[in-house]
Amino acid sequence: MLHEAVAGKLRAIVGPGWFKDDPESLVTHSYDGTPMLQSLPDGVVYPETTAQVSEIVKVLQEHRIPLISRGSGTNLCGGTVPVQGGVVMVMHRMNRILEVDLENLTATVQPGLNTKAFITHVEGLGLFYPPDPGSMAVSTIGGNIAECSGGLRGLKYGTTKDYVIGLEAVLANGEIIRTGGKLMKDVAGYDLTKLLVGSEGTLAVITEATLKLVPPPKTKKTMLAMYKDLYGAARTVSKIIESRIIPATLEFLDNPTIRVVDDFAKLGLPLDMDAILLIEQDGEAETVERDIARIAEICRGENAERVSIAADEAEALKLLTARRSAFTALARLRPTTILEDATVPRSKIADMVLAINEIAKRHGVTICTFGHAGDGNLHPTATTDARDADEIHRVEEAFAEIFEAAIRLGGTITGEHGVGLVKAPYLEWKVGSAGIEVMQAIKQAFDPHHILNPGKMFAKSARKRVVLQRG
């Protein structure tokens, strides 16, 4: 529990109703979307303005109390679990669209704004904000920025970092900085905007963001390609890109995921397929027609068993909704669902999926794989039971080998979920000891007393790589 003098200062800043330390509030903010991780904070505070955030940070800095900023808690790497106690700062009151600038095609928003609500608002104005994380119906813009969220449209349009062009943030000493702005070019010093995007709340508290908007695509078409040959599906992905076609969406589902999604969404998918590709193209009508025809030709050339194009927007939406429901569908199978992510070069997708299957079989665990095939970002998802300690240990060992396999294939330990607590032991595998030292030096410069989201990203010691390379 916080000392009453500190709690009193926080209440004075935000008002008595916006600081909470009752048991219900502490438990509610002791976990996020990551299974099996929980740690009680000492208090929960809800600021309404940047000035309040600044004053809160100054109080916590003075008393060396950890601060964990968060939105809706959809994080999947334990990034908002208060592992060292302290105060959780919930940004939901700071949820306004401050401005949509039609002349500069930008929007300025607060971090607690719901992602889907923002996308819907700008689409109503005839504009487009492409980043679309799977959790967008619940997640917030601030959380997306903290994790540099991706999504189904990442292949063609990029991820959150490509649309954040300016930030307002509060540093660990309470000072307020502004980075970037409504500019398409700005090389004045280090790019602090890009540094803060994806920093997982360890360097500053983001209080405002300026986002780039683009014109919406005029039309789109959606298709399914079904394969009994996993390598055929993987070759299709590479050949589409090699043909200089960049689809808006290029998604992959393996056989176990197909079965679960079909049972959940009742699509009538063939259950004997090793893989399905869900492909969407958007843009000018003539270009879309040409690209979809060429993609269908590539799919058939790589021995797709069936290629079908959605008849209308309703059918296309149903297919995309089914893909977005993959995690929900898998979560029905067992009490605990662990959704991970790893990224490999597109040409290595089949190798990665086969490695995941082999690793899962060897450890006696169930892992289904789906993800963003177009950018090589796969989501191996374990269905398990947290009450079975032996099985959980085997799942953890399997994921360690999966991360090692991704790196061996030229990939990385995370493409969009972040490092947080879960991936911290593996970060050195990817960036090396020198990379860790550079990152720790940056952390020290921004947060010398380590009050901002402590215990995340940097493990006390890296996990030893013990997996042997296999031919």
* 3-state helix vs strand vs coil in the chain, percent to 5: 40, 20, 40
Tokens, residue 80: 């908002």
Kindly write down the DSSP assignment for every residue of 234-282, as one continuous string.
HHHHHHHHHTT---SEEEEEEHHHHHHHHHHH-----TT-SEEEEEEEE
Do 268 and 224 contact (CB within 8 A), yes or no? no
Q: Are 152 and 132 in contact (CB under 8 A)?
A: yes
CA pair distance 423, 49, nearest whole angstrom: 32
Question: Residue 382 and residue 114: Cα distance in Å, rounded?
Answer: 28
Burial (CB count <10 Å: 0-12, 13-18, 19+), residue 420: buried
User: What average pLDDT values come out for the chain (471 residues) when binned by 10 residues?
Assistant: 93 96 97 96 98 98 98 95 98 98 98 98 98 93 96 94 98 98 93 98 98 96 93 92 94 91 85 93 96 97 94 84 84 93 91 94 95 92 96 97 97 95 95 96 98 94 63 38
- Residue of 118, 117, 47, 59 whose CA lies nearest to 86: 59
32 vs 235: CA distance, rounded Å: 37
Provide the angle, in degrees to the nearest 10, between the axes of the packed helices 427-446 and 389-408: 90
Q: Which strands make up the sheet holding 97-101, listed edge to edge?
A: 97-101, 106-109, 205-212, 164-170, 176-180
So what's the pLDDT on residue 15?
96
Rg (CA), the chain: 23
State residue 14's pLDDT score: 98
Give 339-378 as a 3 state SS string.
ECCEECCHHHHHHHHHHHHHHHHHHCCEEEEEEEHHHCEE
Cα angle 403-404-409, degrees, rounded to a multiple of 5: 100
pTM over 0.85: yes
The pLDDT of residue 49: 98
Residue 300's identity, in one-letter code, is R
Q: Are 168 and 99 in contact (CB under 8 A)?
A: no
User: Do the strands 87-90 and 43-45 form a parallel or antiparallel pair, or are they unpaired?
Assistant: parallel
